[in-house]
Amino acid sequence: MAYFENVGKINYEGVKSDNPFAFRHYNAEEIVLGKTMKEHLRFAVAYWHTMTQDGSDPFGKATNIRNWWGETPMETAKNRVEAFFEILEKLGVEYFCFHDIDIAPEGDSLEEFFQNIDEITDLIKEKMDETGIKLLWNTANMFSHPRFVNGAASSNNADVFAYSAAQVKKGLDVSKKLGGENYVFWGGREGYESLLNTDMAFEQDNIARLFKMAIAYGEKIGHKPQFLIEPKPKEPSTHQYDFDAATSMAFIQKYGLEGDFKLNLEANHATLAGHTFEHELNVARSYDALGSIDANQGDPLLGWDTDEFPTNVLDTTLAMYEILENGGIAPGGINFDSKVRRSSFEMDDLFLAHIAGMDTYARGLKAAAALKEDRFFDELKEKRYASYQEGIGAKIVAGEEDLESLTAYALENDDITLESSHLEFVKSRLNDYLF
């Protein structure tokens, strides 16, 4: 049965097309800088926002019209698998991501939850084999159930730690079964509300303990997905431990996890942290830790994680530039951790929203490729740092100078000539690449 009877395969029709169910910029097989757009972008659809979120918010009930509700939670879960793969196939998206609780009902016990996961992942595996669609990453939801009120691995209650470990073990078993390429840890409630009753160092030691158990178990079962930490500064905790890319790198280095962990960076989390998305990608890149991205955008007028579909071409251009400079995003991808607005409640909005996000990233890719081919930023930066290419600058970089020799130099050269950045001109030129 088709869940989206009115929607066929979404094809590329070009900018002149006025068909809302067509790509106007994303042309999967088009070659950009020697690779197809599909290879560059490695799009993924997120199970939670697409299949399970219902449009409710703290002030109002569900608005989304969905036709996959069954008689029982398991029937609904099975219908969702069918509908999900229909969406992926029609969009031509080759990857997907999920939390354990997105795909299967938790039932009345952990044992029942695991049985449900087994049954649903059998179905997912069948669909994957049939379609060639792949698992970008899965993760464990260790934040929604009341038992996680004080966190998962960072909980003050050791039974909660054990429960979390069981969920991660199952997550890795599922990752192996489905050939997952990455495995994500987003902190959820790993953070704190008040330092008055919190042992921050101990809680972080415990998070690292769980991560090391995950690495060890992956080795034991012979399945090694790329582990990823997804930083977020706040929400749901007041203070999230994985605040941003730099904080997460400090954690990774403190516990010696560099060989096994990279970062999954989300655009809306970057802006919540007071950074641009490209800043976060750049930080990760400087540590060789850019693993994957969660594509979305926040509302700059609101202070929370609105997870909107990305539609800002400047943002996606600068993000794609970082990805190109990184030599690509594989084995990571571009996961739409994005949800339709509460007022976009029709079934077909799920397609329109993904088409918008994919087209916006395709535009970003094309603009970023042009910027790279023109050496737009390279030339700008070469010129800006030129003083380190020769003379005293080259000697500083080569480690040939010290405080005394530089003092002698400065005493002779204290009439310093600075250059204007002409930043307004640069931004205006950058606009030429966007539209």
* Contact partner, 139, from ligand XLS, Ni ion, none, Cβ < 5-8 Å per class: ligand XLS
* Contact partner, 316, from ligand XLS, Ni ion, none, Cβ < 5-8 Å per class: none
**Residue (294 or 347) nearer to Ni ion, CB:** 294
Q: Is the peptide bond before 236 cis (omega within 30 degrees of 0)?
A: yes
- What is the Cα–Cα distance from 233 to 215, expressed in whole angstroms? 25
Binding mask 282-311 for Ni ion (x = CB under 5 A): ------------x----------x------
Binding mask 335-364 for Ni ion (x = CB under 5 A): --x---------------------------
Q: How far is the CB of 188 from ligand XLS (least distance, A)?
A: 7
Chain position carrying tokens 């609904």: 76
Nearest one of 44, 45, 63, 43 to 53, comparing CA atoms = 63
Q: Are 304 and 11 in contact (CB under 8 A)?
A: no
Residue number with the shortest CB distance to ligand XLS?
186
Applying CB under 6 A, which residues contact ligand XLS? 99, 139, 184, 186, 230, 232, 266, 294, 305, 337
Q: Which two tokens stand for residue 95?
A: 């990857």
Catalytic center residues = 99, 102
- ∠ CA 162-229-33, rounded to 5°: 150
Q: How far is the CB of 330 from ligand XLS (least distance, A)?
A: 19
**Residue (182 or 316) nearer to ligand XLS, CB:** 182
Residues 252-271 that bind Ni ion (CB under 5 A): 266
Annotated binding-site residues for Mg(2+) read 230, 266, 269, 294, 305, 307, 337
**Residue (26 or 137) nearer to Ni ion, CB:** 137
SS3 181: coil
**Residue (278 or 308) nearer to Ni ion, CB:** 308
**Residue (35 or 342) nearer to ligand XLS, CB:** 342
Helices 376-384 & 349-373 angle (0-180, nearest 10): 50
- What is the Cα–Cα distance from 312 to 271, expressed in whole angstroms? 14
- What is the Cα–Cα distance from 395 to 406, expressed in whole angstroms? 10
Q: Which residues are CB-contacts of 17 (< 8 A; sequence separation ≥ 6)? A: 24
Annotated binding-site residues read 230, 266, 269, 294, 305, 307, 337
Q: Which two tokens stand for residue 281?
A: 């990608």
- What is the Cα–Cα distance from 235 to 240, expressed in whole angstroms? 7
**Residue (270 or 367) nearer to Ni ion, CB:** 270
Q: How far is the CB of 263 from ligand XLS (least distance, A)?
A: 12
DSSP string, 352-367: HHHHHHHHHHHHHHHH
Strands 191-192 and 239-240: what pairing? Answer: antiparallel
| Helix H or strand E encompassing 335 | strand 334-336
Q: How far is the CB of 381 from ligand XLS (least distance, A)?
A: 32
Chain position carrying tokens 């992942």: 121
DSSP string, 423-435: HHHHHHHHHHHH-
Q: How far is the CB of 196 from ligand XLS (least distance, A)?
A: 26
**Residue (278 or 337) nearer to Ni ion, CB:** 337
Amino acid code (one letter) for 129: D
Q: Are 272 and 243 in contact (CB under 8 A)?
A: no
Q: Are 367 and 317 in contact (CB under 8 A)?
A: yes
Q: Which two tokens stand for residue 91?
A: 């969009």
Q: How far is the CB of 289 from ligand XLS (least distance, A)?
A: 17
Helices (H), 92-199: 100-103, 110-131, 158-178
- Tally of helices (H runs) and strands (E runs) in the chain: 16, 14
Q: How far is the CB of 322 from Ni ion (least distance, A)?
A: 17
Interface residue list for Ni ion (CB under 5 A):
266, 294, 305, 337
